[in-house]
Amino acid sequence: MILVYICPSCKSVRIASRRKAVECLKCDEKMILSDLTFMEWSEMTLEEREAYGPAWYKKELDRQNRWKAKQAKIKRNKSEKKD
Ligand SMILES: [Zn+2]
């Protein structure tokens, strides 16, 4: 299965088959698996591909921040219950 990976450092996109770790060819950073399928990727224009990495990573950061905020809220609620 061919998957689309994104580098968290330089936001470059790399196509690779599924494996444990995919490193960025530019900066050796461990890449993150995107939710884009190879079919979708192959149908994108060059401009769309160039814009995809940074846009996806921004979305990923938002998702992570929301998750962290949610975890912090849960933690807060738990400690409030103790008091
Ligand atoms: Zn990179």
Looking at the predicted structure, is the pLDDT value of residue 78 above 80?
A: yes
Q: What is the pLDDT of residues 24-51, one digit of tens each?
A: 999 999 999 998 999 999 999 999 999 9
C-alpha 52/C-alpha 9 separation (Å) is 14
Neighbours of ion ligand 1 (CB under 5 A): 7, 9-10, 24, 26-27, 29
Distance 9 CA to ligand 1 centre (A): 5
What is the per-residue pLDDT for 83? Answer: 67
pLDDT above 90 covers a percentage of the chain that reads: 82
Distance 66 CA to ligand 1 centre (A): 24
Distance 32 CA to ligand 1 centre (A): 11
What is the per-residue pLDDT for 18? Answer: 82
Distance 6 CA to ligand 1 centre (A): 8
Query: pTM of the entire structure?
Result: 0.75
What is the per-residue pLDDT for 19? Answer: 79
Strands (E), the chain: 2-6, 13-17, 32-37
